[in-house]
Structure 1
Amino acid sequence: MISRKKLVTLESMNQNVRNIRVPILGSLSIRAVEIQREIEEGIHKPFGKLTACHLGDLQATGQKPITFLRQVAALCTYPDLLEMSQFPEDAKRRARAILKDLNNGSIGSYNQEYIDITLPCKIADFIKKRDGVEYPCDPRNIIVSGGTSQAIVCVLSMVVNNEEALKTGIMVSVPYYPIYADAVALCEAVKVQFELDEEDGWSVNVTNILRSLHAARKHCNPKVLCVINPGNPTGHVLSRDRIEDLIRLAAEENLLLFADEVYQENIFGPGAAFHSFKKVLYEMGPHYSERVQLVSFNSISKGISGECGLRAGYIEFVNIDPSVFEILHMLKSFYEPPVTAVLMMDVILDPPQPGDQSYETFIAEKQALLGNLAEKAQLTEQILNRAAGIHCNPIQGAMYAFPRIQIPEPAVRLAQSQGLDPDVLFCHRLLEDTGIVLCAGSYFGQVEGTYHIRLSLLPPIEELRSILEQIIAFHGRFMEEFS
């Protein structure tokens, strides 16, 4: 007889899928939802509302969309608006130009030629303006993707070959953004961790990478070195010298460089500057630019646009065999971006220029965002470092802080008895006491024996000040309780 046992259970399902950790809050997310429901039911809490301080979702935390972006998107979505006088002429010109590139002038079409041919040419122009027109940028080496997360999974699934004698190793920093660990698990690869140097502002230490690389080669075949710049969750920005070190290492050890550069516009730390891996690679000369294989990413969900709900990004490939692109295009078909998101990327990569009607508004919005982040980064560092048992490194870019917190040994033992990481226990206690939702550092990886929290810099500045004050006050009570 045919067995009536259920086919899909936790035990029978793909265990690689079961073990992924996005969304990054885990059990905290479940409890936060329960608390919100309890508040709505009138159950008394020591706080009035939940305060989300864990995600890099700019518009959810109050940032208004960039005006010019939304104007062009509205005009393309409903072209009848082109006859209205409320829209500036430069937005109308841009919308008409985009509509000419769309099949029958409609965003409702598949618009494959626009996504696969027209837009990569515009992205190539953006990259040349960013890095210097003297460096080559072939549109045929650029693929438009449905956001960076999908791009990461797509490319890693191409790199991993489980038919080889040794499993493929993917090198990721500690801490890392969780999508990398999950992508590695989904592809059945081996995660090879190397530690960032927290005592040196979360800098990349090539000695640490080599130590991890040589140890990993005893049991797997490391092929990829993943680097996030500016850093998530750490907020560090790589210096040019460190990028050169990484390129030399990739050349010497025959590694594919995987550069996640989605926060490249979010630079605000004193003396910090963004250097793309592509530009530095070519400036180092043919010995490196003709040898090192590089994959770099960008998207519209971060930067100044903050369009997290519109999933679009791009991948540029350097020194990748052209025959590989046939396979890449097939893989990409699983992750096609919505046309509305793609046209938003079209606009943000070529924003209003001096002399355009919308230029002053655009620049004012951009400067306000970056200035606000700089002010909040400085405030976060100052307040957190006032507390005994909390240390926050300078925040140079991206939009997060990743402070180290002290957790007493009795609290560590209690967490272990409950099957929790100690910083997860801390975040649960903080949530119940204050309503503040943070990410535990263990979701991002951390050096053994250290504990961290990741918090977003995006809440309005006075709300952020209150959040920070509550965190250090709670940490003091937590330390006293478990001392």
Structure 2
Amino acid sequence: MPLRECWDYYFKEDVFCSRWMLSFAALKCDFLQGALKLSKEVIDVSSGDPQGAGMKPITFVRQVMAVCLCPELLREESLPLDVRLRALRFLKACDGESLGSYTASSGLPHVRQSIAEFITKRDGGVPAYAGNIFISSGAQRALMVIIKLLTGGEVHPQTGVLVPQPCPHTLLPLLDEAGVMAVSYRLTEDKHWAVDLSELHRALTTSRGRCELRAIYICNPGNPTGHLQDRKSIEEVIEFAAAERLLLLVDEVYQDSVYTPNREFISYKKVLFEMDKHLRDTVELVSFHSVSCACAAECGLRAGYMEVVNMDSGVMHFVDTLLCTDINAPVTGQLALDLMLSPPKPGDPSYDTFAQVRAKPKLPTLVRNAQRTLKLLNDLPGISCQPAMGGIYLYPHLDLPAEIQEQAKILGLEADVLYCQMLLQQEGLIIGDGQHGGTNGSDHLR
């Protein structure tokens, strides 16, 4: 199709990205180049990029990376011994003992094994195997590979995936690009954005005759809602997926960012393997994690992974084949994954510094910021917000005045999109709109 038609298609409402995000990108570019003058300092609270917001990188990660990039530093005795040993070990896992060499499409075997050991430990001994783990250039790329597998190039009937409403702002564009129908199930806002089993059944019923449902997407901890599922909720979703023969796609990228007292992250895989044998042996599950969203917060290094459970070996071969045609994870990103999941242990020279950096700044800062922001939002007229239990976002509800609603209608915008534009232009605040996550016309911010 001609370029203009492509443009009109991808940027039509609710397909690729909101016009607000497009206009924001242009405004930000103009601002950085000096063409746009704003009366206030611009503060971005929507990007989900901790280091971009000023968080310092973890010293251990950067030191090992520096040695790997400049192997002459292996002889630098001012660096901790465990840093140099980890760098040497990683270099020996690379072809030519160089970070500049290619890796297998599914990632370095050394890193896949590190991931398997991390998952086994996290899940209390439930075994994970390197052969079931695939590294990609981010969790999003891994998800796209699985979505491509689900569609199989078919046009009719259209493949459908159950997705939460609200959901990560990049999910709907990804599904649309793959030609997949997103069938929304609403999270219950007044119950801390809980997953409601009756809502899953309602969404399932509405999909009949419109598409062939093949998967359900879960985000736990939630993005952008910050909800955290308990064991009972996870069991209900697993039983639902089993009954409807749906593949479970579980986004668990914020698993180490849980900060609610007396609550902890439980992986879907752990719960599955503690259920009846007929479930743990048959339910197909793909879980995702990323170096961007974890405590390391190395967003720019572009690496993530997926673990597949109960998937046919022939299908796994196609996963590897599709990864061959995709953008491989940079070796530096794979190194960051390895270090994130296998950090210094007590007694290692770098442990004390690492423990201080990891334990002190991020989680307590997240807790403090979440509590302060929650109080601020709930004290403002026309705004209410559920507390977040994990992740890095809050998702406040807006009760906008009638004049803003009317102005948005005249401009052909969603009201929350217009509100975001006004916040940027008048207050210098960059906030994401919630137009893909509204329920019954409600407005939200991310």
Q: Provide TM-score, normalisation by structure 2.
A: 0.95
**Equivalent residue number for residue 460 of structure 1:** none
Q: 1:33 aligns with which of 29, 32, 43?
A: 29
Say whether residues 1:177 and 2:168 are aligned partners. Answer: yes
Say whether residues 1:51 and 2:43 are aligned partners. Answer: yes
Distance 1:266 1:273 in 2: 10
The amino acid of 1:276's aligned partner reads: S
Is this contact kept in 2: 1:384–1:390, CA < 8 A?
yes
CA 1:16–1:114 in structure 2 vs 1: closer, same or farther (change >3 Å)? closer
Distance 1:386 1:114 in 2: 49
Say whether residues 1:82 and 2:74 are aligned partners. Answer: yes
Aligned to 2:443, what secondary structure does the other structure show?
Answer: coil
**Equivalent residue number for residue 345 of structure 2:** 353
Is this contact kept in 1: 2:258–2:265, CA < 8 A?
yes
Count of residue correspondences: 442
Aligned to 1:226, what secondary structure does the other structure show?
Answer: strand
Distance 2:412 2:287 in 1: 38
Q: For residues 242-253 of structure 1, what are the structure 2 equivalents within 5 Å?
A: 242-253=233-244
Distance 1:354 1:109 in 2: 33
Comparing 118-127 with 107-116, which one deviates more in the overlay? 107-116
- The answer for unaligned runs of 5 or more in structure 2 is none
**Equivalent residue number for residue 266 of structure 2:** 275
Shift in Å, 1:411: 1.4
**Equivalent residue number for residue 413 of structure 2:** 420
- The answer for unaligned runs of 5 or more in structure 1 is 1-6, 455-483
Q: 1:431 aligns with which of 420, 424, 429?
A: 424
Say whether residues 1:21 and 2:12 are aligned partners. Answer: no
Shift in Å, 1:32: 3.6
Comparing 22-31 with 305-314, which one deviates more in the overlay? 22-31
Q: For the aligned residues, what is the CA RMSD?
A: 1.9
Distance 2:113 2:350 in 1: 24
Q: 2:374 aligns with which of 381, 397, 402?
A: 381
CA 1:297–1:23 in structure 2 vs 1: closer, same or farther (change >3 Å)? farther
Is this contact kept in 1: 2:139–2:304, CA < 8 A?
yes
Say whether residues 1:207 and 2:201 are aligned partners. Answer: no
Is this contact kept in 2: 1:152–1:180, CA < 8 A?
no
Q: 1:62 aligns with which of 54, 64, 75?
A: 54
Shift in Å, 1:449: 2.2
The amino acid of 1:96's aligned partner reads: L
Deviation per CA, 1:60-104: give whole Å up to 9, x if none.
111111111111111111110111122101111111111111112
Is this contact kept in 2: 1:116–1:143, CA < 8 A?
no
Aligned to 1:172, what secondary structure does the other structure show?
Answer: strand
Deviation per CA, 1:100-120: give whole Å up to 9, x if none.
111121011113399243322
Is this contact kept in 2: 1:194–1:208, CA < 8 A?
yes
CA 1:162–1:110 in structure 2 vs 1: closer, same or farther (change >3 Å)? closer
**Equivalent residue number for residue 177 of structure 2:** 186
The amino acid of 1:331's aligned partner reads: L
Aligned to 1:257, what secondary structure does the other structure show?
Answer: strand
Is this contact kept in 1: 2:227–2:389, CA < 8 A?
yes
Comparing 108-117 with 222-231, which one deviates more in the overlay? 108-117
Distance 1:297 1:353 in 2: 25
Say whether residues 1:101 and 2:93 are aligned partners. Answer: yes
**Equivalent residue number for residue 3 of structure 1:** none
Aligned to 1:400, what secondary structure does the other structure show?
Answer: coil
CA 1:90–1:388 in structure 2 vs 1: closer, same or farther (change >3 Å)? same
Aligned to 1:199, what secondary structure does the other structure show?
Answer: helix
Distance 2:174 2:36 in 1: 41
Aligned to 1:203, what secondary structure does the other structure show?
Answer: coil
Distance 1:26 1:245 in 2: 39
Is this contact kept in 1: 2:251–2:287, CA < 8 A?
yes
Q: State the percentage of identical aligned residues.
A: 35
Q: Provide TM-score, normalisation by structure 1.
A: 0.88
